[in-house]
A and B are shown apart, each in its own frame.
With several copies, the nearest count.
Chain A
Amino acid sequence: MPEEEPERLISEDGLRLDGRKPDEMRPIKIRAGVLKRADGSAYVEVGANRIVAAVYGPRELHPRHKQKPDRAVVRFRYNMAPFSVDERKRPGPDRRSIEISKLSKEALEPAIFTEYYPRTAIDIFVEVLQADAGTRCAGITAASVALADAGIEMRDLVAACAAGKVDGHIVLDPMYYEDGHGEADVPLAMMPKEGEITLLQMDGDMTPEELKKAIRLAKKGCKIIYKEQRRALKRKYGEEE
């Protein structure tokens, strides 16, 4: 966070506070298979976000009456470490993390061939060790790599990225300060191969045209993320998944 409140978030020459162009992502780092106990795992850095995802499953689901005879039940838990944010977060789920967990599950499920794994559970856990803006997108990005690392059959990877509106400009991948001081935030997740959108939220103030523009920009970000996801899996498995 800048020491003093900056007057404007986009400079006269069109650059952002951290020197990025409006359509530029923050640095990304993705690693697959970072944990031994989990069936699949991944680590993602986007800006100062530090996120670990793990997948367990397909595994037995208890109690039995929650099993689905024709598909796997996907469960998702987004959790922030107490030290991941400025003010210590009390452990345990709050309303925000419960909503994010629900939407992240719904963002990933379209990509999973759940019908291949009837009566089982696929459990996805995302731990935010350090939060910059965009943790829900980074979590979905990490979870998707972890699913692939666990060998779960998928239609495509799911890549996620936000766009935002800052000083009237539509920008890609807002960082913490832009998120807090901008006019709107548009997190989006998609399956890049078919262009299908699996997560979309927006809050703030936008015209319909700005919103559509933000969606297109976020999709562009997702494609960059997607390349990094595939690179991470290739690094681990020797060739494209």
Chain B
Amino acid sequence: MPLDQDLLARLKRHEVLEALRAGERVDGRDFEEFRPIELRTDVISKANGSALIHLGNTQLVVGVKLEVGTPYPDTPDEGALAVNAELVPLADPTFEPGPPDENAIELSRVVDRGIRESEMIDLKSLCIQEGEHCWVTFVDIHVLDHDGNLFDASLLASVAALHRTRVPRAEVVDDEVEVDETETTPLEVRDFPVSVTLALVDEHLLVDPCLDEEVVMDARVTVTVTEEGRICAVQKGERGSLPEHLLDDAIDLAVKKAEEIRRVVKAQL
């Protein structure tokens, strides 16, 4: 039963590179082509906002929960944001139970920066009482099926879930916060950041790498772009290097694709 995993990997690598040399991707897509995106929001009624995304075969759920907490001392008039990604072992044979590893942490931090730096959420609107009480916005990414490019799928679903998030009414009575879950208003959202991840394989930049491509890629670049076409986050990962001109190409390509993806996704909200 236990097949020779190494042999399989080498065969797959060969297949991906072979296709590239013939000017093609292993799944037949154009170099700049995203996989089909299917988005469903409000899938979890226990959450204040939620979304389920399919990006090709990659599948994940994001749930947004609002909880009453205390503002950070240095931002007493703001709510807080906490992004967490769980790479649960259900989603991939290499994922292991336990606290988030470096991959899960990198994923959640890149998504966090996309949300935070785009300023899509007005954290001030999440203050309940200055210095005392605020909403903490938990964005939990729960990966179900891993077929590559968790970065873009996670940010898309997170942003969609935030766009659908409703904030319960909160009142301070006798220094305590009373929450009325039945009366809600939409979370104020001011932007729609989209990240575009490119894999560098054999000197080619491949948009939205699938898992087979991720396994063989030399480096990965993720560029997060706001609605105005500005950059709010970049992350190069994996142990390869790339020359500046490819980086310039990646930035331009990301800006172009981000707008396209945003249109596709917004149509599904």
Judging by beta carbons under 8 Å apart, are B231 and A208 in contact?
yes
CA distance A110 to B117 in the complex (A): 29
Question: At the interface with chain A, which of B17-25, B63-71, B260-268?
Answer: B63-71
From A130, A196, A206, B241 is in contact (CB under 8 Å) with A196
Judging by beta carbons under 8 Å apart, are B1 and A58 in contact?
yes
CA distance A204 to B239 in the complex (A): 24
- Is chain B's interface secondary structure helix, strand, loop, or mixed overall? mixed
Judging by beta carbons under 8 Å apart, are A35 and B90 in contact?
yes
- Return the CB mask of B96-119 against A: 1 if under 8 Å, else 0: 010110110110110001001100
Judging by beta carbons under 8 Å apart, are B92 and A129 in contact?
no
From A41, A88, A131, A208, B65 is in contact (CB under 8 Å) with A88
CA distance A226 to B96 in the complex (A): 31
Contacting residues, chain B, for A3 (C-beta < 8 A)? 182
CA distance A130 to B237 in the complex (A): 26
CA distance A110 to B218 in the complex (A): 10
A205 at the interface (CB under 8 A from B): yes
A21 at the interface (CB under 8 A from B): no
CA distance A84 to B43 in the complex (A): 11
Question: At the interface with chain B, which of A7-15, A92-100, A167-175?
Answer: A92-100
CB nearest neighbor in B for A55: B90
B252 at the interface (CB under 8 A from A): yes
Contacting residues, chain B, for A103 (C-beta < 8 A)? 106, 236-237
Judging by beta carbons under 8 Å apart, are B50 and A37 in contact?
no
Judging by beta carbons under 8 Å apart, are B230 and A59 in contact?
no
Judging by beta carbons under 8 Å apart, are A196 and B242 in contact?
yes
CA distance A208 to B228 in the complex (A): 11
CA distance A173 to B97 in the complex (A): 30
A109 at the interface (CB under 8 A from B): yes
Judging by beta carbons under 8 Å apart, are A106 and B231 in contact?
no
A163 at the interface (CB under 8 A from B): no
Contacting residues, chain A, for B100 (C-beta < 8 A)? 91, 95
The answer to whether A37 and B244 touch (CB under 8 A), given A82-B65, A85-B46, A208-B229, is: no
Q: How far is the CB of B117 from chain A (nearest CB, A)?
A: 5
Judging by beta carbons under 8 Å apart, are A106 and B239 in contact?
yes
Judging by beta carbons under 8 Å apart, are B232 and A205 in contact?
yes
- Return the CB mask of A82-122 against B: 1 if under 8 Å, else 0: 11111110011101101101110110011000000100100
A28 at the interface (CB under 8 A from B): no
The interface on chain A, measured as residues whose beta carbon lies within 8 A of the other chain's beta carbons, has a size of: 72
User: Which residues in window 16-72 of A have CB below 8 A to B?
Assistant: 35-38, 41, 48, 50, 52-54, 56, 58-60
Judging by beta carbons under 8 Å apart, are A81 and B248 in contact?
no
CA distance A112 to B235 in the complex (A): 21
A141 at the interface (CB under 8 A from B): no
Judging by beta carbons under 8 Å apart, are B88 and A120 in contact?
no
Judging by beta carbons under 8 Å apart, are B237 and A88 in contact?
no
CA distance A120 to B3 in the complex (A): 12
Question: At the interface with chain A, which of B27-35, B140-148, B149-157?
Answer: B140-148
Judging by beta carbons under 8 Å apart, are A125 and B106 in contact?
no
A79 at the interface (CB under 8 A from B): yes
Judging by beta carbons under 8 Å apart, are B105 and A83 in contact?
no
Judging by beta carbons under 8 Å apart, are B145 and A35 in contact?
yes
CB nearest neighbor in A for B93: A56
Judging by beta carbons under 8 Å apart, are A208 and B239 in contact?
no
A199 at the interface (CB under 8 A from B): yes
CB nearest neighbor in B for A209: B251
A195 at the interface (CB under 8 A from B): yes
CB nearest neighbor in A for B181: A86
CA distance A191 to B242 in the complex (A): 10
CA distance A125 to B64 in the complex (A): 23
Judging by beta carbons under 8 Å apart, are B88 and A127 in contact?
yes
The answer to whether A37 and B232 touch (CB under 8 A), given A77-B97, A203-B117, is: no
- Contact surface of A with B, Cβ cutoff 8 Å: 3, 35-38, 41, 48, 50, 52-54, 56, 58-60, 74, 77, 79, 81-88, 91-93, 95-96, 98-99, 101-103, 105-106, 109-110, 117, 120, 123, 125-127, 129-131, 186, 190-191, 194-208, 211-212, 215-216, 219
- Contact surface of B with A, Cβ cutoff 8 Å: 1-2, 43-47, 50, 57, 59, 61, 63-65, 67, 84, 86, 88-93, 97, 99-100, 102-103, 105-106, 108-109, 113, 116-117, 138, 140, 142, 144-147, 182, 221, 226, 229-244, 247-248, 251-252, 255
A-B CB contact pairs (8 Å), 22 listed: A35-B145, A37-B145, A38-B145, A52-B144, A53-B90, A59-B93, A77-B97, A83-B46, A83-B64, A83-B138, A84-B63, A88-B140, A91-B84, A91-B140, A99-B102, A101-B102, A103-B106, A103-B236, A196-B241, A200-B235, A202-B235, A206-B230
